[in-house]
Chains A and B, each alone.
Chain A
């Protein structure tokens, strides 16, 4: 392909035809500010509505300034990105945006992490000359997400995530002019929509218009209560991303520091969701084999493929959109909820603490987990198995608030028994990891042979839909993997039409899996960050002495002491669940 030469701020850069000025500038590290443009490289998502007009630049020979995100480079183009004319125009645009934006940064949940604020600071905005009437909207609080549309600047990134990437279709631009915001149909609240709480809209919103519900203060209150025993679990993907909030390079594993920080914060027991991930494998893996063997022996009542069920965003999605297929996903609860049930029963008994006095907090890369722990079926007499789910971001803020010098902490180890885990538990954090972990165990159980090579490279990667064959000693298993709900939908449609070739499918709602979860440090669309986190996850796996869930000594002990066997009676009661048809139709038709 012939390259095109352009001159940006007196630097010559060669780019492929079709490259925009914004992309060309980024290639040579010239930062043109923008509030709406979003490029999620590996997912093939480029969002360039050209709406915010902050990215305008001067192109020699053109009368008007050009939006850099939507203007393609042409041979010999001369571009100035920061001359006086450009700076003035940008400032005016910014002042107009701010004229309809509440000036309450001091109190805003997004402060310090807000693109609008950062850009305004960079531009040296000190006053807002246009004092327009501020449009006000009612605040919408759901169990997981808060929508404060007074702060919406109509970049429409959330719409792209919800509609194109996730294909959930909850958010759309409504009204016109200054009154324009994004909202669910009929401006209903999110909890009356089909929102899955995947949090991908929250993760890309440049302002405080979309944020997760903050449970930090409740957790602090419990930590301060001498009558409460507070137990914490941390999800696999948290350790691969938390360091970013403290200036560490993406992909830095901070497992030991994370444990140390949680102890400093006053948690009585620091446990690991990875333990529960191992437990999930015992249950889900056994279920897979049971269904597979019945199927192979010709049982017509058994349906394949089996779908994983450890992602609550995904569970919400199929409850809304595929209610005719509720019998296909595994009945295994998510690791978060398995942990909660084991902590509030087995562990509470063990340390002789009443259920009401045991508080279970989880640290999750996830927004949907906030909703999941409020589901009625996961509580006993109104007392939930998991009391609060904090996002990775909330934990980072809490550590900062407590004045803990995170980077200086010495590594510490998880408590026993619910803190011991295997490499199989760790890889739950990345797309493909759950099914790889399941195969490591299922292989040995099914064939009775030792698995020599535990790394299944063919299951790893970041492509949205992947498939692989795994040889089970002569029996060829066909595996599908999807991450991002739009990709999941494609596999689901195939199943519905009877076209699916798979025995088992892993689905994660968030692009990249939990490493790209809605509650993680913001990656601002930089997919190299996702890759680094993914590397970290597999590195932690490789470093673990035990890498198969069924070899975890504390899992073995749990079954011996308490549960009996996988899919046994107690397991069914504590570790499995059922799903509900949540598709709702408003329409009533009169005869």
Chain B
């Protein structure tokens, strides 16, 4: 749940409406429209859900119901530096879980959340194809290999 008002950019809103139109503004396409919407905005703030509701002529409550039902959808914006931890088999075996726990503890957030200052967000990834470097952590565009729980603090320091 979010109570912060978000100002949407006009061009994004136009794009969103275009997406709705591509799906013939059909209520039955709600999930597909939300998928695309999350692609545009990175997340689904209340305002975006209201526009989708309006365009597809369904109630906002219903849209919110769908957003909260599927874990894929999120109402929380990604952090400035989105952290993704690979939990593919290779990484997992080499201790990704512990690395993840360390990130959670350092940042005091859960997977899928963003720090209150908006700086970091935490998510998990399936295999990124860099198994040789396992366990792998991505922060923004940058890749970190062979990360150990002890190294987490130093990595975060780079972004202070």
**Residues on A with beta carbons closer than 8 Å to the beta carbon of B5:** 586, 588
A587's contact among B47, B58, B65, by CB below 8 Å, is which? Answer: B47
Name 8 A/B residue pairs within 8 A (Cβ), A-sorted.
Answer: A163-B62, A169-B59, A174-B69, A183-B61, A185-B59, A586-B46, A587-B13, A589-B8
Closest chain-A Cβ to B88's Cβ sits at a distance in Å of 26
- Inter-chain contact A588/B7, CB cutoff 8 Å: yes
Query: B residues touching A (Cβ–Cβ < 8 Å)?
Result: 1-2, 5-10, 13, 46-47, 49-51, 58-65, 68-69
Q: Are B61 and A184 in contact (CB under 8 A)?
A: yes
Check A185 against B63 for contact (C-beta < 8 Å): yes
Would A163 and B59 count as touching, CB distance under 8 A? Answer: yes
Whether A176 contacts B59 by the Cβ 8 Å rule is: no
| Beta-carbon contact of A590 and B65 below 8 Å | no
Residues of A155-177 at the interface with B, using a CB-CB cut-off of 8 Å, are: 163, 169-176
Using A174-B68, A175-B68, A187-B1 as known contacts, say yes or no to A590 and B10 having CB atoms under 8 A apart: yes
Across the interface, which residues of B come within 8 angstroms of A163, CB to CB?
59, 62
The total of chain A residues at the interface (CB under 8 A) is 22
Partner-B contacts on A (CB < 8 A): 163, 169-176, 183-187, 193, 585-591
* Cβ contact within 8 Å between B64 and A185: yes
Which residues of chain A are within 8 angstroms of B62 by Cβ–Cβ distance?
163, 169, 172
- B47 in contact with A586 (CB, 8 Å): yes
Q: In whole angstroms, what is the CA distance A176 to B2 when docked?
A: 19
Majority SS at the chain B contact face: helix
Give CA–CA (A172, B49) in the complex, Å.
14
A199 to chain B, nearest CB (A): 18
Q: How far is the CA of A186 from the CA of B9 in the complex (A)?
A: 21
Establish whether residues B47 and A172, one from each chain, have CB atoms under 8 Å apart when the complex forms. no
B65 touches A173 (CB 8 A): yes
Given contacts A172-B62, A185-B61, are A589 and B49 in contact (CB under 8 A)? Answer: no
Closest 6 CB pairs of A and B: A169-B59, A172-B61, A172-B65, A185-B60, A185-B64, A185-B61
Complex Cα spacing A172 to B58, Å:
11
Whether A174 lies near B65 (C-beta < 8 A) is yes
Given contact pairs A587-B51, A588-B8, a sample of 7 additional A-B residue pairs in the complex whose CB atoms are under 8 Å apart = A170-B61, A174-B65, A176-B68, A185-B46, A186-B49, A586-B46, A587-B8
Whether B49 pairs with A185 at a CB distance below 8 angstroms is yes
CB contacts (< 8 Å) of A174 on chain B: these are 64-65, 68-69
- Shortest Cβ distance from A163 into B: residue: B59
B61 contacts A585, C-beta separation under 8 Å: no
